[in-house]
Chains A and B, each alone.
Chain A
Amino acid sequence: MRIPGLGNAADNPKHGTPGDDPEHHPRARDGRAPNVMRIGEWVPMRQHRDEDEVDFAVVGTGAGGGTLACRLAEAGFSVVAFDAGPYFRPLEDFASDESHQSKLYWTDERIVDGENPLQMGSNNSGKAVGGSTVHYAMVALRFRPEWFKARTLMGYGADWPIDWREMWHYYDQVEDDLKISGPVNYPWGPHRRRYHRRAHEINAAAKVLARGAEAMGIDWTPTPLATISAPRGDAPPCVYRGFCTLGCSTNAKQSVLVTYLPRALKAGAEIRDLAMVGRIETSNGRATGVHYHREGRWRFQRAKNVVVAGYAIETPRLLLMSANREFPDGLANSSGLVGRNLMVQGNQAVWGVFNEEIRSYKGPPSLAISEHWNYDDKGSGPFAKDFFGGYSYMSQGPLPQLWANTQASAHGLWGEALVAEMQRYNHVAGLKVVSEYMPQERNRVTLSDVKDRYGLPVARITYSWCDNDKALNRHALKFLRQALEAAGGREIWDQGDDTCHLNGTARMGNDKRTSVVDADCRSWDIPNLWICDGSVFPTVGGVNPSLTIQAIALRTADRIFAARGA
């Protein structure tokens, strides 16, 4: 095992590349791409010319796009994967610093409105090779089986066109690919295999969750996480530095950047960093390639198939921006649903002060979880459920800037009150939900009149809670408050307005009138245009979405192979 992260190119001048600046100059070029596992090293990369008609142009290299690009390349297809973001080398480029690491986020302008305008930026999406998995919190959960038939079995939302047993198979595969660390027995849902690595040791913040859950008489467990608890190749086990949502500088985190993309390169895929796709071209009802901006100019890559995997804001934005004479309302939009049914998840929290020192900054932020309210449909007494859907809740570990911002904007503290309260940082613990909001057509992504630096229209994101969302928020906050109190928390307060994750703006389904893509993520309208990311979810469930996005990407790859064989 190598001990990475002790230096960088600056410490090892022989590795330095003059003018190396990943945010302004592409790194994947001249037949090579960064070897993200080793300081200063490179791996060979196959390259294609713009005029070559490649089998697949994939837009976005995150949970959906990166995973799919890898499997397509491994099956022998020629693949070019574009990402608007930089190709980071975590060992060299990632500082232990909240401000600096905002370079991982999609911070190009977006406009928010509606009754409950969303907070975007750091809270929601990434812009980097590897996508949002570079800064995600690694919580790796499966959907509850019934959610795939939410409409039929549970009476809300929409059914998925995929059977849960098939998903279970693909979940096994992603969990293996990412070597998920988790408990021996997972308390909820049907039997699953043992996780590949032992669960991580839990920190004090997670023990607060455990105490509270036990006092309330419900199950909890160490969280299954995509960060390794034992070495894997060049990656060391997690060192509990706690900067996970700002990028993992040791490579313990099993992001797409350090898992599927190195595999993709090895299998012959080309990755183009700092390459913003602005429009998909069509001719005679088929996609013919993508217009992209790289190194100061617009270029056109020809392709036999185009996959859009830009996450639930950029994906509909790109489809709408690609409107042309053949498809005046945007691509894949005969149903009128592109951009609609945007679903975030609730991210409300309760926070309290403890006599003990908690120091929740140590370790991954969410080391313990309860999914009780995803599986209990009725509840009882004060916690009787009067809404559809469910939620999980997890322990938390905010770093100082995030915590101060939460105290200021959600708790309303400033001045002496703020600086004094901040001194209790090491004694604070909180519980936070990931909850299921309903799909609503009025929650949507549209194009505004404002233009970005490429001259492309900026996305406008409209969001409002429905009554069911509000009832769920109330239940969750009430339950969490009691659980935190039972664990010994004092001076508890609610953070009532936070949201996370983005899904649903190009939903999959069985009927082309009520969905944008079919079960295989192929658009109904354009047979060689695919959408493979968080956008395709018909419902969101009460768990973090990435494992499901990645399982769908693996399934999509298999469906594409099957179609080729046929």
Chain B
Amino acid sequence: MLPRQDLYPGYDVLAKRDGPSWNAKTRAVLDERLAIGPEMRRFFDEAEWMTLKALAARIVPQPADREVPVPVAALVDYKLAIGEHDGYRDATMPDEREAWRQGLRALDAEARAQFGARFHELSTWAQDELLKLAERGELTDAAWASMPSKLFFKHRVLGDVVKAYYAHPTAWNEIGWGGPASPRGYVRMDFDRRDPWEAAEAKPGREDEAYAENLRVGD
């Protein structure tokens, strides 16, 4: 595994906001999302919130020096507060909202039982140990009730947290995705071709070229 790096230096998908790649609806949707602050919380209570934030930091860790981190927990909260649904659930799972509340409570209970502190107070090593047990379905504290920890981890933790992070322009910059693309779309489709409004990847030794290209995507 290569470590995370600054692969698309200087690229900011938001530079295209007022150009032909963003229609009015897209602007409205992204304005709403970008207005969600890190402490905006309507659905979770205080205790759940602490656990969720710690959990999100392990599932989609962000660089320590990132000035404005993606508000992952707030994005998950927002989804639950407006009642957005997946449209299905395993017969052994409660609905999304209940599953989240129960799962966060259960993670905290496991943290107390196994390490004597709440989940968010644990070291990242201990947090990961618990999450790996959940991933394998090996957490079985009574607080889980009938919900399998494995399905909570797969459907709720991975599903909702990962999708929340990759719904944010900061994450799009990090992976060099073109972002919203209506109505302009794209023209160059072949191997190793990019349109001038797409992110330029830094090739070893030529990072400056990529940086200069990336400052022009909004032109």
Interface residues of A (CB under 8 A from B): 3-8, 10-11, 92-100, 102, 105-113, 117-122, 125, 201-204, 207, 238-243, 249-250, 356-359, 361-363, 399-401, 403-405, 407-409, 412, 414-423, 425-426, 460-461
Contacts and interface: CB of A to CB of B under 8 A. Distances in A.
Contacts, number: 226
Contact of B26 (A97, A201, A401, A408): A97
Contact of B88 (A112, A242, A408): A112
A409 B189 contact: no
Contacts of A421: 1
Given A95-B26, A112-B88, A414 B59 contact: yes
Interface string B139-168: 000000000000000110011001101110
Interface residues of B, number: 69
A404 B166 contact: yes
A558 B11 CA distance: 56
Interface of B: 1-5, 7, 20-26, 28-30, 33, 58-61, 79, 84-91, 95, 128, 131, 135, 154-155, 158-159, 162-163, 165-167, 171-172, 174-194, 198-199, 201
Contacts of B60: 414-415, 418-419
6 contacts: A95-B29, A96-B181, A96-B182, A242-B181, A400-B166, A423-B174
A425 B91 contact: no
B180 A414 contact: no
B26 A96 contact: yes
Given A5-B23, A420-B2, A423-B7, A109 B89 contact: yes
A361 B163 contact: no
B186 A92 contact: no
Contact of B187 (A122, A240, A416): A240
A242 B186 contact: yes
Contacts of B172: 400
A108 to B, nearest CB: 7
Contacts of B175: 400, 422-423, 425-426
A105 B85 CA distance: 10
Contacts of A112: 88-91
B23 to A, nearest CB: 5
Nearest to A10: B24
A359 B185 CA distance: 13
Given A243-B181, A422-B175, A425-B175, 6 more contacts: A95-B26, A242-B181, A357-B193, A362-B188, A415-B59, A423-B176
Contact of B184 (A92, A239, A400, A405): A239
A59 B23 CA distance: 33
A111 B201 contact: no
B183 A109 contact: no
B63 to A, nearest CB: 9
